[in-house]
Amino acid sequence: MSEGPAARSRSIRVGPWRVDVAERPGVPRPVPLATLARAVAAALDAAGAPAPASIGLVLSDDEELADLDLVHLGKSGPTDVLSFPLLPPEAFPPHDGAGRPAASHADPATLGPRFVPPPTGRLHLGDIVVSVERAAEQASDGRGGQTGNVRWTTRDELRLLVTHGTLHLCGWDHAEPAEEAAMRALERRLLADASWPDPPSGA
């Protein structure tokens, strides 16, 4: 990740989950951090992630996402969200469209030395990096949502992106039509279920 001034960091606990949020310098905060943490937690619950666990959420900009996209995926130009899972898909329950039988679900502690829980017993599932800059632009330009043609709030776009990124950490993907349909359906349900109001400003 790009070097420079230190990010602001904060850990937010939601049920068995700890969301470690890092905000890059100069990146605006259009949505309360607690709102994004609850979106992450709801996706972890829905995906059956092993608990207790932590997850990293980095709020960044187009420049950093473009750098990461080039280094890790060989793609040029910025993207909106990238996920860096630490556990294999087999560490999570099977889901619709994944093409993986239920018998393939494994306890993370049995997956070898790399996945033995730390002494605290809290696994780190991986990290999500989101471009707040791109989320705001997509939302206002009508290039947001699952279909890339929705005009809505930056709040809604960021909630979708962190939900999408979290599901990727939990073994979900959209390379095949059946799994993409299942992933999109779950995202819609999670966004619709999130009827709670934003916490007080600055949270």
Residue 176 has pLDDT above 90, yes or no: no
Decide if 108 is inside a domain. yes
> In the predicted model, what is the mean pLDDT of residues 137-154?
91
CATH number of the domain encompassing residue 16: 3.40.390.30
Residue 200 has pLDDT above 70, yes or no: no
As a dihedral over the C-alpha atoms of residue 44, residue 168, residue 157, residue 81, rounded to 10 degrees, the angle is 130
Please tell me the predicted confidence (pLDDT) of residue 199. 56
Q: For 20-70, what is each residue's pLDDT tens digit? A: 999 999 999 999 999 999 999 999 999 999 999 999 999 999 999 999 988
Tokens describing residue 31:
């949505």
Residue 132 has pLDDT above 90, yes or no: yes
Q: For 70-128, what is each residue's pLDDT tens digit? A: 888 888 878 999 999 999 988 899 888 776 554 455 565 655 545 555 556 789 999 99
Decide if 198 is inside a domain. no
Decide if 128 is inside a domain. yes
Decide if 102 is inside a domain. yes
Please tell me the predicted confidence (pLDDT) of residue 1. 44
Which DSSP category does 168 fall into? H
Decide if 27 is inside a domain. yes
How many CB atoms within 10 Å of residue 35? Answer: 18
What distance in Å separates the CA atoms of residue 22 and residue 176, rounded to the nearest whole number? 32
> In the predicted model, what is the mean pLDDT of residues 156-184?
92
Decide if 201 is inside a domain. no
What is the span of the domain harbouring residue 167?
A: 8-193
Is the link from the previous residue into 113 a cis peptide, with omega within 30 of 0? no
Decide if 2 is inside a domain. no
Nearest to 198 by CA among 33, 20, 13, 55: 33
Number of domains in the chain: 1
